[in-house]
């Protein structure tokens, strides 16, 4: 059976503790299959005890900061700062025995940006690092990105030994930006043998990553899951925006997706 994960942010432990408590209850009751924790920089010492107490026995994947939080692997001069920002993710991974730390490629396009991202990724020297494919541009900042194509992600994997997180929405948006068939692109990514996946709904012809809840867009979710993932796959539900009150929207999501793929 495919496994679906709930995503929390480390800032939730400071600003939205009721949501954290609701997530803890749902995870311990088996309503979700694992936790993905987005580890913002510099919060570890403040919240580590509570994180351990609530989720120490829960299967967890860690997501490191990215360019929105100042971690941009493509900037050579930021290498030391990038290492410091990644450290929070590594600390949470140690704390929760996580086997994967998702790390984005950086900003910018062209060989120089790609090569520097690969160099820094490799220099982080952590076997848990898991590269995630990106859309052609950031939906918030509009900055151009790399790590978009199958060929670029293949280079990351081959040159760094990284695991791979296939983000379906990023792949669809990237394919649309280059006017390529989305299923042809997804087949290329599938051949890279992803270790896990990110799944949301969206507009199938859009280049904008919208993180819609399941059923709010027009992605063929059944085809995405059944054709491009295997039984036992880990799929984080990257759905929704804003500050959540409780986990009900994600309970609705997991019910929806299990019904669709049955």
**How far is 262 from 259, CA to CA, in rounded Å?**
5
Residue 20 above 90 pLDDT? Answer: yes
Would you place residue 140 in the very low, low, confident or very high pLDDT band (cuts 50, 70, 90)?
confident
List all residues 6 or more positions away from 65 whose beta carbon is below 8 Å from its beta carbon: 38, 39, 40, 41, 71, 85, 86, 88, 89
Is the four-CA dihedral 138, 142, 148, 153 of positive or negative sign? negative
The total number of structural domains in the chain stands at 1
pLDDT (tens digit per residue) in 177-190: 999 999 999 999 99
- Is the model's pLDDT at 142 over the cut of 90? no
* pLDDT on residue 203: 98
Q: Is the pLDDT of residue 139 over 90?
A: no
With pLDDT > 90 as the criterion, what percentage of the chain qualifies? 95
In which domain, by residue range, is 116 found? 3-261
CATH number at residue 256: 3.20.20.150
Q: What is the pLDDT of residues 40-76, one digit of tens each?
A: 998 999 999 999 999 999 999 999 999 889 899 999 9
User: What's the whole-number mean pLDDT along residues 244-255?
Assistant: 98
Residue 241 binned pLDDT confidence (cut-offs 50, 70, 90): confident
Among candidate residues 159, 156, 115, 119, the one with its CA nearest the CA of residue 134: 156
């Amino acid at each position: 059976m495919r496994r679906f994960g709930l995503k929390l942010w480390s800032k939730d432990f400071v600003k939205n503790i009721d949501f954290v408590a609701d997530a803890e209850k749902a995870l311990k009751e088996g309503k979700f299959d694992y936790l993905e924790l987005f580890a913002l920089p510099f919060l570890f010492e403040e919240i580590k005890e509570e994180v351990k107490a609530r989720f120490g026995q829960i299967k967890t994947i860690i997501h490191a900061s990215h360019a929105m939080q100042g971690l941009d692997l493509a900037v050579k001069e930021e290498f030391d700062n990038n290492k410091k920002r990644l450290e929070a993710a590594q600390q949470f991974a140690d704390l929760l025995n996580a086997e994967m730390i998702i790390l984005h490629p950086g900003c910018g396009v062209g060989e120089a940006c790609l090569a520097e991202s690969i160099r820094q990724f490799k220099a982080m020297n952590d076997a848990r690092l898991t590269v995630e494919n990106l859309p052609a541009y950031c939906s918030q900042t509009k900055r151009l990105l790399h790590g978009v194509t199958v060929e670029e992600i293949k280079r990351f994997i081959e040159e760094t030994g990284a695991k791979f997180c296939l983000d379906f929405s990023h792949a669809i948006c990237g394919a649309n930006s280059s006017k390529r068939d989305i299923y042809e692109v997804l087949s290329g990514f599938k051949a890279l043998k992803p270790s896990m996946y990110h799944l949301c709904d969206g507009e199938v012809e859009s280049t904008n990553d919208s993180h819609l809840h399941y059923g709010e867009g027009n992605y063929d979710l059944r085809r995405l899951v059944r054709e491009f993932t295997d039984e036992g796959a880990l799929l984080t539900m990257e759905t929704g925006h804003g500050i959540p009150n409780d986990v009900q929207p994600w309970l609705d999501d997991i019910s929806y997706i299990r019904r669709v793929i049955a």
